[in-house]
Chains A and B, each alone.
Chain A
Amino acid sequence: DSGVTQTPKHLITATGQRVTLRCSPRSGDLSVYWYQQSLDQGLQFLIQYYNGEERAKGNILERFSAQQFPDLHSELNLSSLELGDSALYFCASSVGTVNTGELFFGEGSRLTVL
């Protein structure tokens, strides 16, 4: 158990809909990262928050947004969903910056868009 909690574990929805994925980081970790994992693209970095503020942005679509709340949990909002958004979405956390530390991953939220 990494200590990172993601909900829901599975989500099935239709094209055009909007969903919210939630992540609670490990106790004491200030950084939260969102990654998208798909068969063709591998593990793609979406966005990072540190103590409530956006720290880095990767290949995140404009239809996607995220935020980190004062209690440090984070939400990833996906809107106007398309078939290609079907993927496993991971949240990870770390104490501070990631590079010399360790990223702790949740078990992921599997999104299926029909």
Chain B
Amino acid sequence: AQSVTQLGSHVSVSEGALVLLRCNYSSSVPPYLFWYVQYPNQGLQLLLKYTSAATLVKGINGFEAEFKKSETSFHLTKPSAHMSDAAEYFCAVGNSGNTPLVFGKGTRLSVIA
């Protein structure tokens, strides 16, 4: 079975500060990892994905994440937060089989001016 734990249900940062959203996964097979973002009153959209290629993955809007197998982590970062980054962020895990993605409970990011 696969699972995802997102540390912190709510993270608040100042505009221009570093964004760090934490995700740890559990998987008995090599994982595929994803970050999705949900803006208010919208569906989720893919930010970035790791599927066993480069361990540092760059996504949209300046976000990136690093796959660390030894730490079973896939933390999401952005060097400088923007007001428009305020949203809910979901980490998800899958694999090369046909099992649907398992999502974490989400982290709500607030950006303070």
B-binding residues in A (CB < 8 A): 2, 4, 33, 35, 42-43, 45, 48, 55-56, 58, 90, 92, 97-100, 102-108
A-binding residues in B (CB < 8 A): 32, 36, 41-46, 49, 51, 90, 94-106
Let me know if B44 and A99 touch, CB within 8 A: no
Interchain Cβ contacts within 8 Å, total number: 60
Let me know if A98 and B43 touch, CB within 8 A: no
Let me know if A43 and B43 touch, CB within 8 A: no
Let me know if A56 and B45 touch, CB within 8 A: no
Please measure, in the bound complex, the distance between the C-alpha atom of A99 and the C-alpha atom of B32, giving whole angstroms: 7
Please measure, in the bound complex, the distance between the C-alpha atom of A46 and the C-alpha atom of B56, giving whole angstroms: 31
Q: A42-B106, A43-B106 are in contact. Are A98 and B101 (CB under 8 A)?
A: yes
Beyond A45-B101, A45-B103, A103-B44, list 8 extra A-B contacts (CB 8 Å): A48-B100, A58-B100, A92-B43, A97-B98, A99-B51, A99-B96, A103-B101, A106-B43
Let me know if A99 and B43 touch, CB within 8 A: no
Task: Please give the distance in Å from A87's CB to the nearest CB on chain B.
Answer: 14
Let me know if B41 and A107 touch, CB within 8 A: yes
Chain B residues in 8 Å Cβ range of A56: 98-100
Please measure, in the bound complex, the distance between the C-alpha atom of A98 and the C-alpha atom of B96, giving whole angstroms: 9
